[in-house]
């Protein structure tokens, strides 16, 4: 079993059924044997992008996540405390919270962003 944390762009690709997600990654995300998490930071980030006219998000995103059997991961004080100690390799607050969540919860981040490798997290390249 693998515990995955989807970066926002990977979540969008999954919801759009994009071929950007290769068959191996598709099988990992879709496998009922793996736990797939979506940080609450992702819908927050996507809502901001939608408000700027950059994209559209399903209005029933909570239902969609449940149908996909993805677990919505809240931001806790434990996550916030880790953010204070993270090196400043990257400044995006949404990505930094996902790094903290991955560290605290023991999750593998699924992302195309290679800079995640500069932090102490397990990265699965999308």
Number of domains comprising the chain: 1
Looking up tokens 């950007």 gives: 20
Mean pLDDT by 10 residues, the chain (126 residues): 96 92 94 97 93 88 93 97 89 92 97 88 93
pLDDT value of position 82: 96
pLDDT value of position 58: 85
Token pair, residue 55, equals 């994209």
pLDDT value of position 56: 86
What residues are paired with 35 via a beta bridge? 3
Query: Nearest-CA neighbor of 42 among 67, 86, 69, 5?
Result: 5
pLDDT value of position 89: 80
pLDDT value of position 116: 85
User: For the chain, how many helices (H) and strands (E)?
Assistant: 6, 5
Q: Give the domain extent around 55.
A: 3-125
CATH code, domain with 114: 3.40.50.1010
């Amino acid at each position: 079993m693998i515990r995955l944390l989807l970066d926002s762009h990977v979540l969008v690709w999954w919801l759009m059924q994009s071929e950007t997600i290769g068959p191996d990654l598709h099988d990992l995300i879709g496998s009922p044997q793996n736990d797939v998490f979506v940080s609450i930071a992702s819908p927050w980030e996507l809502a901001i992008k939608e408000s700027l006219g950059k994209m559209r998000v399903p209005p029933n995103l909570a239902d969609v996540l449940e149908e996909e059997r993805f677990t919505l991961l809240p931001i806790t004080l434990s996550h916030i405390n880790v953010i204070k100690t993270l090196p400043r390799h990257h400044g995006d607050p949404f990505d930094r919270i996902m790094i903290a969540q991955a560290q605290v919860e023991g999750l593998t981040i699924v992302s195309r962003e290679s800079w995640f490798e500069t932090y102490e997290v397990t990265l699965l390249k999308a």
